[in-house]
Amino acid sequence: MALVIFLLGIGVSHAQHVNNLTADLDEETHVLRIQQEFEYKNTSDDTLRNLYFNDWAHAYSNKKTGLAKRFAEDFRKSLHLAKDEERGSTEITSAVDDEYRGLFWERVTGQDVLKIRLNEPLEPGNSAKIFITYTVKLPSKKFTPYGYDSKSGYYLKDWYLTPAVYDGKWHLYSNKNLEDLYTDVTNTNLKITYPDSLHMVSNFRVLGQTRFPNGHEAQLKGINRKSCEIILTPTNDFTTHVTHNMTVITDLKGGKYDEISQGVSIHKVTDFVLENLGKFPHSHLLVSEIDYNKNPMYGLNQLPSFIRPYDDQFQYEMKFLKTALVKIINETIFLDPRKDQWILDAIANYLMIAYVEEHYPDQKLLGKLSKIWGFRSYQLAKMDFNEQYPFLYMFRARKNQDQPLTTPNDSLIKWNQKIGNKYKAGQGLSYLASYIGKEKVDESIKTFYKYYKLNKVKPLDFESILKRASNRNIDWFFNDYVSTDRLIDFKIKKAKKTEDSLQVTLKNKEGTNVPISLFGLNDKDSVVSKYWFSNITREKTFTIPNKNEERLVLNYDQKIPEFNQRDNWKSLKGFFSSNKKIKFTFFKDAENPYYNQIFYVPILNFNIYDGWSPGLRLYNKTFLERPFVYDFHPSYSFRENTLVGFGSLGYRKYLSKSGLFVSNYRISASTFHFQTNSRYTSITPSMSFGWRPADLISNKRQFLTFRYVNIFRDFDESLIDLSNDPDTPDYSVFNARFSHVNNGIIDFNSWSTDFQHSSDFTKLVFEFEYRKLYENNTQFNVRFFAGKFLRNKIAPGNTFFDFALDRPTDYLFDYNYLGRSEDSGLYSQQIIIAEGGFKSFLDERYRFANDWLATMNTSVNLWRWIEAYGDIGFVKNRGLREKFVYDSGIRLNLVTDFFELYFPVYSNNGWEIAQPNYEERIRFIITISPRTLTGLFTRKWF
């Protein structure tokens, strides 16, 4: 009762700011000419001397805005390379007060926040009118969903100057394409003219439209709204659906799902929203395909339509539900979307989970594929649809890249911003509902929405409602689950069975003090008991009734996003019955905690000595990372008629979020042929440590690696001259390496030091690389290498361990040479940029250095992927003077590090392009590892 009285006192707030705009769209120039009259009401207790406005369009104006920097962090250079006519900007013509006195203005905070200095201080409770005349040049939609497209369409949101929020301090946020612009609420009247060839829909109420020669004029009104969203298209693809509780305007595509069925589904979803959230307070809801594409259902339903595994009805309803919930909550709950986004995400995703539980309780994650032979045996196929929420959150948490839900939106890595934190938030409310009762969480959400919609909200408001609804202590939810990145991980340490009771000892492996559920299962895996236990800081023993359980399982219903579920079960049939059985599975799968999983997949390797080597990869890597992994690649060389391959055992330990964050311990071995009937075998134990900054978005990383490389070689007797030292074909090298990398798409730099020691030599190497993409779109690369023998007992003439100018001998067998022993023919032209990094084959006297080597490699782009390169350096051999070397040519950088071509032009050899057999001088980079290529496209997510 006290809660109801408290909430009734809130009421519905009404926007204090009044915004009157007149806008005219020029289709040829994509420019909006705007006259804006803004009446700002000071509802704070402070006297204001400046007002701030969000200037969305100016974020696209140049390469130094907050948006441009965010794109660079995401490895997107489209805005950096944009043409001037594709950019957006705002040009202020005049700004005056109600007495027509000029107002001083300037741009702050990433160049897209406008600061206007008032001529007179604005006292609390008073209002000030300002008049601004300006033009907005709309950006192309090639950068973000907003602006104009190639089909004469427009998508406008936050397109005019909107007031920033002041609540004792100004909240000034740059537009970073995160859907989190913090805009104050206004009552807005808009008159806009646009070409008559376009059709208009808006989230604002359309009061009327007038057609005149070559154009339309529309009057729109928005009460208690943050921004006016307008979609202009050459064809009208939108349909209006009038339900008994909401009017919906939508163009969501349903594939083969017909329009009548779509209407039925829309009614079904809006009824669910009304029942589980509340009544939408505005005249209509705009749900567009553009909105969905900004925030899609990540996963299998993004596959092409001909292989989508879900029924059309389920597919369409989930698509509409997600888009509608996001729009409803964002347009009615006014909190700080950059800092408090988790509340909106939690409610939206919780309701999506509830919708599936209510209407599609048997829906599987793989949909129809779960019933098809070849798929149905996979653990992934057995997972329920709602199990994707903890699964996809854990995808990055297992890699130590999870972040607290309270992390500001612009400090989240892209995976967490788009998927991980949203799913963790929704799963968190589902976890809480399982603990305190679903009906209590459901009622709290409806209460929160009923009394706080169209009001400015703080996280404490939502927290207070949930706490009042629960008779259990739920401080853990806000203090540990929401506000930290602490992991949840429990195990059943032991269980003792008596005639009438069970004594169960639970261990909290991470120390995160949250409740854990325990299920008792019978021999048919049916649930016969369920208990909740809390306040387990380390270990605790509980006594529960004996209900003839055969097995005890923690978190059996997957409501808790637990870090490791492989130790969540305990058999009550005896010690040996607890041993997990081995399960062989083709290709990778999700974790099955009840089996020791071994995955297998065919592989095919190639080098010219072994030829094509088919084999079988055996490994234990699941979709979620695990600490201990093994990976074996036995293959058969048909050319040598023998076994070859690779294998490794590794253990990875994550230590913290920043600073020293990871340690790796590994032993690997490989054996292949490096010439006809000549085999090498390497055995390498290693350990490495990684450092990163507290800002996880930063691409800076540091690594320290120690390894001991042991090489064993067997030579064919007829080819014994290939060994420069046939008496000692085996050798061992201790290698220590420290590297620092800042992997940016605009600015890239890395440096490393490398120390090698063996019985015959000691080396020290320094390497530096820098890449810069300038504002005129010219890219410059420079690499510097310096290597020195501190000790060298190798006989002169043996170049196997020497520094190489153009083609390293790779005595540590690190590089993926297709023909590592070749000194002529196509395979000898393969280049790996290491050591000297030269592209031309120079005189044999200068190709190797047994004293020291120093080189610099540079390149600059001429046009797109065509670059000019140049290399210079000094080669120093013992007993000889240093030799100055150089080369130059053209580089075709088709796919960086994957496929590149080098065409030498001029070097110490003279004009190489004019010399005979020029085709033998062309060098190439080719990588047959798909991981190298896929890494170029996935790096922006992590």
Residue 213 is part of a domain; what is its CATH number? Answer: 2.60.40.1730
Domain co-membership, 677 together with 575: no
Amino acid 542 reads: F
- Give me the number of domains the chain comprises: 3
740 has pLDDT over 50: yes
Q: Which helix (H) or strand (E) holds 530?
A: strand 527-533
pLDDT of residue 776: 80
| Residues found in the chain | 942
pLDDT in tens, 184-232: 999 999 999 999 999 999 999 999 999 988 899 999 999 999 999 999 9
The residue assigned the tokens 């090298």 is 733
Would you put residue 513 in left (φ > 0), alpha (ψ -120 to 50) or beta? Answer: beta
pLDDT of residue 746: 87
108, 55 in Cβ contact below 8 A? Answer: no
pLDDT in tens, 167-181: 999 999 999 999 999
Q: Which helix (H) or strand (E) holds 385?
A: none
pLDDT of residue 577: 56
pLDDT of residue 843: 92
Mean pLDDT of 753-768: 97
Domain co-membership, 668 together with 571: no
* CATH number of the structural domain spanning residue 558: 2.60.40.10
Examine residue 631 and state whether it is found in any structural domain, yes or no: no
pLDDT in tens, 36-49: 999 999 999 999 99
747 has pLDDT over 50: yes
Going by C-alpha positions, the residue among 357, 382, 356, 384 that lies closest to residue 371 is 382
727 has pLDDT over 80: no
pLDDT in tens, 867-920: 999 999 999 999 999 999 999 999 998 887 788 999 999 999 999 999 999 999
Q: Which residue has the higher pLDDT, 73 or 683?
A: 683
pLDDT of residue 498: 86
Examine residue 278 and state whether it is found in any structural domain, yes or no: no
Which tokens is 421 given? 């934190």
* pLDDT band at residue 931 using 50, 70 and 90 as cut-offs: low
Cβ burial, residue 535 (10 Å; 0-12/13-18/19+): exposed
pLDDT in tens, 547-578: 988 899 999 998 999 999 888 988 888 665 56
Examine residue 765 and state whether it is found in any structural domain, yes or no: yes
Task: Give phi and psi for 264, each to the nearest 5.
Answer: -65, -45
Q: Lowest-confidence range among 413-422, 520-529, 632-641, 765-774? A: 520-529
941 has pLDDT over 80: no
Looking at the chain, the number of H-run helices and the number of E-run strands are 14, 49
For residue 254, the cross-strand partners are: none
pLDDT of residue 936: 55
Examine residue 592 and state whether it is found in any structural domain, yes or no: no
Domain co-membership, 546 together with 695: no
Max CA pair span of the chain: 100
Domain co-membership, 912 together with 810: yes
**Euclidean distance between CA atoms 126 and 239, whole angstroms:** 44
**Euclidean distance between CA atoms 766 and 82, whole angstroms:** 37
Tell me the residue range of the domain where 212 lies. 17-235
pLDDT in tens, 619-662: 999 999 999 999 999 999 999 999 999 999 999 999 999 999 99
937 has pLDDT over 90: no
Mean pLDDT of 502-522: 94
Domain co-membership, 658 together with 575: no
Buried b (16+ CB within 10 A) or exposed e, 626-664: eeebebbbbbbbeebeeebbbbbeeebebeebeeebbee
Q: Among 189, 204, 235, which residue terminates a domain? A: 235
521 has pLDDT over 50: yes
**Euclidean distance between CA atoms 541 and 24, whole angstroms:** 72
Examine residue 345 and state whether it is found in any structural domain, yes or no: no
**Euclidean distance between CA atoms 527 and 530, whole angstroms:** 8
Examine residue 353 and state whether it is found in any structural domain, yes or no: no
* pLDDT band at residue 270 using 50, 70 and 90 as cut-offs: very high
Task: Give phi and psi for 676, each to the nearest 5.
Answer: -55, 125
pLDDT of residue 2: 43
Examine residue 617 and state whether it is found in any structural domain, yes or no: no
Instruction: Note the pTM of the prediction, 2 decimals.
Output: 0.91
* pLDDT band at residue 774 using 50, 70 and 90 as cut-offs: confident
Q: Which residue has the higher pLDDT, 588 or 14?
A: 588
Domain co-membership, 43 together with 187: yes
415, 403 in Cβ contact below 8 A? Answer: no
Buried b (16+ CB within 10 A) or exposed e, 850-859: bbbbbbbbbb
**Euclidean distance between CA atoms 601 and 654, whole angstroms:** 28
Q: Among 553, 579, 605, which residue terminates a domain? A: 579
**Euclidean distance between CA atoms 10 and 448, whole angstroms:** 11
752 has pLDDT over 80: yes
Domain co-membership, 105 together with 191: yes
* pLDDT band at residue 545 using 50, 70 and 90 as cut-offs: very high
Q: Is 747 helix (H, G, I), strand (E, B) or coil?
A: strand
Quick one: what percent of the chain has pLDDT higher than 90? 80
**Euclidean distance between CA atoms 871 and 856, whole angstroms:** 6
Domain co-membership, 176 together with 61: yes
Domain co-membership, 564 together with 708: no
4 has pLDDT over 80: no
Mean pLDDT taken over the chain = 92
**Euclidean distance between CA atoms 309 and 305, whole angstroms:** 9
* CATH number of the structural domain spanning residue 833: 2.40.160
pLDDT in tens, 276-320: 999 999 999 999 999 999 988 887 666 666 677 899 999 999 999
Domain co-membership, 906 together with 776: yes
pLDDT of residue 898: 80
Q: Among 539, 563, 579, which residue terminates a domain? A: 579
The 3-class SS string of 612-663 reads EEEEEEEECCCCCCCCEEEEEEEEEECCCCEEEEEEEEEEEEECCCCEEEEE
Examine residue 401 and state whether it is found in any structural domain, yes or no: no
**Euclidean distance between CA atoms 346 and 367, whole angstroms:** 25
Mean pLDDT of 702-713: 97
Domain co-membership, 30 together with 171: yes
Domain co-membership, 659 together with 557: no
510, 563 in Cβ contact below 8 A? Answer: yes
Q: What is the four-CA torsion angle of 803, 806, 809, 815, rounded to 10 degrees?
A: 110
13 has pLDDT over 60: no
Q: How many CA atoms lie within 13 A of 696 on its CB side?
A: 26
